[in-house]
Amino acid sequence: MRYYVLIGVVIAVVAAWTGVWFYIAGEVRQQTQASADQITDTYKASHGGFVIGGYPFRIRVDISRPRLDLRDNSSGFLWETDDVSGVRHLWQPRHILLDLSGQHRFTLAHDGAWYRLELDNSEAMASVQTDAAGQMGRLSLDIKEPLLGYSLVPALEETLQAAGRARRLQIHARMTPDASGDIDVALRGDGLEIGEGVLPDHLAAVSRTIPLLDLQTTVTGLSDHGPSTTPIAQWRDDGGTIEVRRFHLQWGDMELTASGSLALDERMRPIGALTARIKGHDQLLDIAVATKSMDKNGAIAARAVLGLLAAAGGGVLSVPVRLQDGQLFLGPAAVANLGALAVQ
Tens digits of pLDDT across the chain (344 residues): 667 777 878 888 888 888 888 888 888 888 887 776 677 777 888 889 999 998 988 999 999 999 999 887 677 889 999 999 999 998 888 999 999 999 999 998 877 777 889 999 999 999 999 887 778 889 999 999 999 998 876 555 567 888 999 999 999 999 877 767 899 999 999 999 999 888 888 888 889 999 999 999 999 988 755 555 558 888 999 899 999 999 999 998 899 999 999 999 999 999 999 999 999 999 888 888 888 888 888 888 888 888 888 888 888 999 999 999 999 998 888 888 888 887 65
Measuring CA to CA, which residue among 182, 94, 85, 107 is closest to residue 134? Answer: 94
Q: How many CB atoms lie within 10 A of CB 233?
A: 14
Residue type, 303: R
Q: Which residues, 6+ apart, have CB-to-CB distance to 291 below 8 Å?
A: 202, 203, 336, 337
Contact 107, 80 (CB under 8 A): no
User: Alpha-carbon distance 67 to 142, whole Å?
Assistant: 22
| Cβ-based burial of 252 (10 A; exposed 0-12, middle 13-18, buried ≥19) | middle
3-state secondary structure of 121: coil
Compute CA 20 distance to the chain's CA centroid, rounded to the nearest angstrom: 37
Contact 336, 293 (CB under 8 A): yes
Classify each residue of 91-126 as buried b or exposed e, where b means 16 or more C-beta atoms within 10 Å of its C-beta.
Answer: eeeeebbbbbbeebbbbbbeeeeeebbbbbbeebeb
Q: What is the phi/psi pair of residue 9, to 5°?
A: -65, -45
3-state secondary structure of 332: coil
Check residue 219 and give its pLDDT. Answer: 94
Check residue 212 and give its pLDDT. Answer: 98
pTM given for the model? 0.87
Instruction: Give the ranges where the chain is alpha helix by DSSP (H).
Output: 2-36, 232-237, 282-290, 296-312
Classify each residue of 27-49 as buried b or exposed e, where b means 16 or more C-beta atoms within 10 Å of its C-beta.
Answer: ebeeebeeebeeeeeeeebebee
Check residue 62 and give its pLDDT. Answer: 95
Residue type, 101: S
Check residue 296 and give its pLDDT. Answer: 87
Half-sphere exposure of 340 (CA within 13 A, CB side): 10
Check residue 139 and give its pLDDT. Answer: 95
How many Å from the N-terminal Cα to the C-terminal Cα in the chain?
76
User: Alpha-carbon distance 276 to 317, whole Å?
Assistant: 8
